A = this chain, B = another copy of it.
């Protein structure tokens, strides 16, 4: 009988090769599994809701691990935070979940935020956290274009070549573009996303904001269902996995 713990994680992705363990650098997965192995005294593997790419951040990533012994959830949180030092990765909450609960397969929604800093001067306070775009962007046009992507579509035009998903069909539940001073925030929610989908949508919306693409062109690109029709991939630094939704919030208790 495993003791399965759901973990809510925050990390700064700047220095990592991404979530997934890789030979060529430090991954969040390796740090978390090493920390859990210290706690458990035995190897531990993790399953994650969103395999974020290199440079992508998380404010509410969710993973699960099985530990050979039961621990109070606070002890799991605090011990993992301790062993994760000094890396910019922390466990915000830990919760005991049923053995058949799965951070990846039980998830019913992923919420992302893409941040653009839209001003002439480079960021001094938000370096590595935003996409710096100098030219003033037309946010109302970006928001109208975003509306064309809502709903169920073949998102092949916004899918990375390396994407391993079986189907290019996804249902986009939310894609909002708002401005707060120099900051433009794109919020994207779906049950799941294709590889690079949020960054590819952000790259296309930026072209609309610059006036280089019309609003309608985004609809045409979507209909083309061909990555060669899509725009550029927005930089990883602007993207943050804000949260993961489940039928019942495992951290609510």
Contacts and interface: CB of A to CB of B under 8 A. Distances in A.
A49 interface: no
Contact of A122 (B59, B74, B90, B125): B90
Nearest to A9: B124
- Top 10 closest A-B pairs, CB basis? A90-B121, A88-B124, A10-B124, A90-B124, A11-B124, A92-B121, A81-B121, A12-B125, A12-B124, A89-B124
A125 to B, nearest CB: 5
A53 interface: no
Contacts of A123: 10, 90
Instruction: State the copy count for this chain.
Output: 2
Nearest to A80: B121
Given A92-B119, A119-B92, A125 B10 contact: yes
Given A88-B127, A127-B88, A121 B59 contact: no
A125 B92 contact: no
Contacts of A187: none
A3 to B, nearest CB: 21
A78 B10 contact: no
Query: Among A10, A11, A127, which residue has the most Cβ atoms of chain B within 10 A?
Result: A10
A202 interface: no
Given A10-B123, A90-B123, 10 more contacts: A10-B121, A11-B124, A12-B125, A57-B125, A59-B125, A81-B120, A81-B122, A89-B124, A90-B124, A92-B121
A199 interface: no
25 contacts: A10-B121, A10-B123, A10-B125, A11-B124, A11-B125, A12-B124, A12-B125, A12-B127, A57-B125, A59-B125, A74-B120, A77-B120, A78-B120, A81-B120, A81-B122, A88-B124, A89-B124, A90-B121, A90-B122, A90-B123, A90-B124, A91-B121, A92-B119, A92-B121, A125-B129
